[in-house]
Structures are given as C-alpha cells and as structure tokens.
Amino acid sequence: MTQTLKIAQSSVSYEDPHDCTDAGDILSIFGAIFDTLVKREGAGFVPHLAQSWTVSDEGRVWKFVLQPDVMFHDGNHVDAAAVCANLHRLSQPEKGYTLGSPGVWHQYLGGADFKVLSPLTFEIALHAPVSDLLDILVQAFILSPACFDAELLGRTIGSGPYIIEDITETRIRARANSAHFKGPVHNTVIEWHACPDTAVRLDGLVQGDVHVANRLPGGAPIKDVTRIKYVAPVAIIYLFNITVGPLANSDLRRALNLAVNRDALIANVVGGDAVPLTGFVSSAHFGFAEDVDATFAPDQARDLLKKAGYKDGLTLSVSCPTRLPDEAQALTASLAAQLERIGVTLDVRTHEDREAYAHMVRKKQIGDMAVFDSSPLSTFRVIYEKLDARVSGAWWQGYDNVTVQNILDAARRTPDNTARAHLYQQAYREIAHDPPWLFLYNPIRHIGIRGDHPNFAMPQDGVLDVTRLPPLT
C-alpha cells in the first residue's frame, strides 16, 4: 500500500487559480496541481513551462518558447494556444478578485495582445512596458482551457506534478503525475489537511499523525522532527492616511517611524519571532537597499513632531482588525505605549470582520492609521499597486511622491536586472525619507517535518513547494 504524506496547515481551499491570493496554504496546493511559465529562484526567475524568453529593450514585447511535449492532466497539450487562452482569461477585469480588489492581473495584462507564433511559441505585446512581467507570471497558473466553462471547484485541470483525486471541506488528496515533464517526485500521494488550531497541528506532528505542519510556534527541539524557521516576505505595517488629516505631513510620518523601537516591539508582541523592517519591502525583495536603517531615534522624532506643529502632542485614530495580522490588537497596544513617550496618543477602533475591514481600506475609509500587511514578493507590484498616486490602487492611501513615480516609470522600461535593481534601491532610499507607512517587521515563521532534514529550506516566498519535500521514511 502506497504511503500518504500528510500536511497539516491552517486551511485548505480549492478555488479558481486565476483569482489572486497571497495565502501560502492555497498557493502551495496550486503549485502542486498547476504549472507556471517561470519559477522564482532567489531574487530571480528560472524556466519552467517556458524554456526560454526574450524581451524588447523597452520591456513591452515578450516572446516565450514553451517546453515540448507537456500535457495537461486531461491529455491535452500545453501549447502556445492554451497558454494564450489562459493569459487572456487572466487579463479580464473580473479575474483576480481578492478581498474586495478585483482585476489584479488586468492592471498588467489588460489590453495586451497575445499572439500564437507557432505551436510552442507565443508573444505578449503589453499595453504598457512592464520589465517585471515575470513577477506577474510567477503566479499565473496555467490550466486546461477545457475546464474554463466548467464548475471550477474540483474540476480545474492543470499540468503540475500532482493530480487531484479527492476534495472535501477539510482535506485535499492528490496523486503524483507520473508523466510530469520535470520527472518523478519523492512522494506518490499527498494530503493537505485543514487544521486551524496551532496546538493541534503541533501535536499531530509530534505524535506522527502528520508528516509536515506549518505555522508552528517557536520553541525547543522536538524529537524526530526537523524545525525550519524562515523570514516571511510579508511586511507588517500601518498604512498612513495621507489624503486627509495630520499624516499628510511627511515630517510627522517620519517622526512616527523614528519613534518606534522595533526590537522591543518584536520581543513584546511576537516573542522575538520577527526581524525589523527597514523600509517598504523585505530583504528578500528585488532591489532591496541594505544601507537603509530602521533607526530608533526618539529625540529626533520629538523634534520632527514640533516641526510638524505638534509640540504639545496629538491624537491619531487607528483602524485595527482583530486579525490581519493575528497579533494586530496586541501590536497596536504595544505601539501605543511606545508612541505615548513622544506625546502621540492612539485612539483605537476595532474591526472584527476581516473582509469588511479590507473593503474599508480599499474604499479609503481608514482612520489616520490602519494595521495592515504588504505583499507580494514583488517590489514592482508593491510600488505600483500601493504607492503610485496615478494608479490609486486598492491599498493606496493618498501617498503621492513624484520622484518614486518617475523611478517606477524608468524601472518599467528597464529589462536589465542590474540597472532595474539600482532604480528600486533609489526608490527605497527616497521612501525612507518620505514614508507612506509605519514600517515594523517581517514575521519569522516555523514549519516542522518529521525526520532529520538538515538541508531542507523554505523558498524565499515562504510558500511550501511539496515537490521539494523529502521522501517518507
């Protein structure tokens, strides 16, 4: 009898893979069932369904050559026509819905011309240059066009290393695709089990009922279990309402960033399981600037507060969900204690419905500040979707920095990776002096695998790649 590798994770769900999500649990499942044109490796990308590509000098026209003889699970070919059909579907305004923000992919692929040049070659002529297009395509899952018109749940067909066998509300079971173009995987059968309770996930791992468990608490070593800790690229931040109110003043926004002792905040709120965030993206992001410090300078903060016209202090309203992140309320309480020392009082307004909260943020209805997180692992998308005033994206809250916008425009037209990274470093330094958010930390997360696996490492995006899991012993 074939052994089944069991993964305990916070949730399981099988949705339309063309809808946008940053939930690692879901992306892990999608990555097993579906292939993408490219895979992320470090800060760059490597071929996957696409064996090669070229891009025009201005970053607008992309040409891809596909791997030969790749098949969907239904026996149809993964050819240029199928991929173009997927990209066209992704480009529609109604696709990419997430927490009240429709059309994520439409922002980049809308108005593009997808042209089949040969059975294995196609071209994307974008409406506007996007030299970071691979950052978009890395989550563009390719599925068989035969299921576009079917009820998606349980019927979506990919070409990935695993084939869905069964789906329930709490479990998804998949079997290895013996014909996958990348060759065999270590584990023939995988089950993902929904287990929202952290303690239950941990106990299941300790007892040997599951082989892998994610989002574990830190702690002492566990017999026969390898603990892997990694820095999640998601940034825990407070959005600043720059449209109206006192935080339209950049000196005040900078003062708040200087007033926070991030190390103390991390120790108090998450027991040390985080690393201080030095700017608007993590150290894993492309174009991160290492020379920018998350300085703790309360005296300088007080001076800037006075310069901004608040020598006697002020009160700021804070929109705070009960989760998003889970520690949002504890974080806000700890932050309030720190800001009180420079004369800033927080008036906290709690919100229990996560999706309603996200809708409120999208509609620009936050108080002076709002607890939030920033993802994905794409410097380009973070700037474009959250900081560019000309876009006024879902999570944009009034920030308008022409210098940053000009840098983004230059980056869009710069396919050379080295040159584009330098541009993003310039943006990073500029944003440090004119912050759109209160930058706090990147969480450290823990995953456990039964057995001794000293060489196992999580991918930089923090999404478990089940093809890299060691074989059951």
Residue 125: give its domain's CATH number: 3.40.190.10
Is a pLDDT exceeding 80 seen at residue 35?
yes
Asked if 313 and 418 sit in the same domain, the reply is yes
Average pLDDT over residues 247-252: 96
- Domain boundary at 138, 157, 176, which? 157
Beta carbons within 10 angstroms of residue 176's beta carbon: 19
**Domains in the chain, number:** 2
Whole-prediction pTM: 0.91
Report the CATH number at residue 357: 3.10.105.10
Lowest-pLDDT choice from 40-44, 213-217, 265-269, 425-429: 40-44
Contacts of 151 (CB under 8 A, 6+ apart): none
Token pair for 472: 């059951």
316 in Cβ contact with 344 (< 8 Å): yes
Q: Does any domain span residue 16?
A: no
33 in Cβ contact with 217 (< 8 Å): no
86 in Cβ contact with 140 (< 8 Å): yes
Is a pLDDT exceeding 60 seen at residue 214?
yes
**What single-letter amino acid sits at 170?**
T
Asked if 300 and 420 sit in the same domain, the reply is yes
Lowest-pLDDT choice from 90-104, 210-224, 367-381: 90-104
Q: What is the maximum alpha-carbon separation in the chain?
A: 73
Asked if 258 and 382 sit in the same domain, the reply is yes
Q: Which of 50, 210, 196, 66 is nearest to 133 (CA)?
A: 50
Give the integer Cα–Cα distance in Å for 150 and 105.
21
- Domain boundary at 113, 133, 157, which? 157
Q: Does any domain span residue 28?
A: no
Is a pLDDT exceeding 90 seen at residue 412?
yes
**What pLDDT is attached to residue 22?**
76
Is a pLDDT exceeding 80 seen at residue 422?
yes
Is a pLDDT exceeding 90 seen at residue 413?
yes
**What pLDDT is attached to residue 116?**
98
137 in Cβ contact with 38 (< 8 Å): yes
Q: Which of 191, 201, 187 is nearest to 167 (CA)?
A: 191
- Domain boundary at 157, 174, 190, which? 157
Is a pLDDT exceeding 80 seen at residue 161?
yes
Exposure b/e, 314-352, CB count within 10 A at least 16 = b: eebebbbbeebbebbbebbebbbebbeebbbebebeebe
Asked if 150 and 240 sit in the same domain, the reply is no
Asked if 239 and 150 sit in the same domain, the reply is no
Beta carbons within 10 angstroms of residue 384's beta carbon: 22
Contacts of 289 (CB under 8 A, 6+ apart): 279, 424, 425, 428, 429
Is a pLDDT exceeding 70 seen at residue 261?
yes
**What pLDDT is attached to residue 239?**
96
Q: Which residue has the tokens 């929109």?
A: 319
**What single-letter amino acid sits at 288?**
F
Q: Which of 186, 170, 188, 134 is nearest to 4 (CA)?
A: 188
Token pair for 172: 């998804």
Q: Three-state DSSP class for 424?
A: helix
Q: Does any domain span residue 298?
A: yes
Q: Where are the alpha helices (DSSP H) in 240-353?
A: 250-259, 262-270, 298-307, 328-340
User: Domain containing 335: what range?
Assistant: 235-443
Q: Where are the alpha helices (DSSP H) in 42-193?
A: 80-90, 106-109, 133-137
Q: How confident is the model at residue 160 (pLDDT cuts 50, 70, 90)?
A: very high
Predicted confidence (pLDDT) per residue in 100-156, tens digit:
555 678 889 999 999 999 999 999 999 999 999 999 999 999 999 988 876 655 577
Is a pLDDT exceeding 90 seen at residue 37?
yes
Q: Does any domain span residue 2?
A: no
| ∠ CA 109-113-116, rounded to 5° | 120
Q: How confident is the model at residue 2 (pLDDT cuts 50, 70, 90)?
A: low
Asked if 152 and 255 sit in the same domain, the reply is no
Q: Which of 12, 25, 24 is nearest to 169 (CA)?
A: 12
Contacts of 261 (CB under 8 A, 6+ apart): 296, 338
Q: Three-state DSSP class for 415?
A: coil
Token pair for 233: 């690229």
Q: Does any domain span residue 273?
A: yes
Q: How confident is the model at residue 1 (pLDDT cuts 50, 70, 90)?
A: very low
**What pLDDT is attached to residue 450?**
93
Give the integer Cα–Cα distance in Å for 307 and 289.
28
**What pLDDT is attached to residue 295?**
84
Give the integer Cα–Cα distance in Å for 401 and 427.
10
Lowest-pLDDT choice from 22-36, 55-69, 148-162, 221-235: 148-162
Asked if 428 and 310 sit in the same domain, the reply is yes
339 in Cβ contact with 252 (< 8 Å): no
Q: Does any domain span residue 133?
A: yes
**What pLDDT is attached to residue 153?**
53
Q: Does any domain span residue 72?
A: yes
Q: Does any domain span residue 204?
A: no
Greater model confidence, 21 or 176? 176
Q: Three-state DSSP class for 329?
A: helix
* Paired strand residues for 230: 445
Is a pLDDT exceeding 50 seen at residue 55?
yes
Is a pLDDT exceeding 90 seen at residue 323?
no
Average pLDDT over residues 372-381: 85
User: Could you tell me the CA-to-CA distances from 414 to 59, 130, 250, 419, 423 in Å, in that order?
Assistant: 6, 9, 30, 7, 9
Q: What is the mean pLDDT of the chain?
A: 91
pLDDT > 70 in the chain, percent: 96
